[in-house]
Amino acid sequence: MENFFGIMKSELLYLQEFDSIDHFKEKLEEYIHYYNHLRIKSRLKRKSPIAYRASFEQAA
């Protein structure tokens, strides 16, 4: 969890200014979707977390 928050701060929080709490929430939801569905990770065999989990479900 600490790793996620560190990455999120460097990729989202420190790079943007937010007009309101609602604007921040919207961007945070978009970032979480990106992180889970689109962002590839070398530790997960160059797959996104969702794709990596799905590969195990297909094997079972």
What does the pLDDT look like over 5-56, one tens digit per residue?
Answer: 999 999 999 999 999 999 999 999 999 999 999 999 999 999 999 999 999 8
Residue 6 to residue 58: CA distance in whole angstroms:
31
> pTM to 2 decimals?
0.82
Residue 10 is predicted with a pLDDT of 96
* DSSP secondary structure letter of residue 1: -
Residue 57 is predicted with a pLDDT of 83
Residue 59 is predicted with a pLDDT of 75
Residue 60 is predicted with a pLDDT of 67
Give residues with Cβ within 8 angstroms of 46, minimum separation 6. 40
Closest CA to 39 of 29, 27, 50, 28: 50
3-state secondary structure of 47: strand
Type of residue found at 19: D
Residue 58 is predicted with a pLDDT of 79
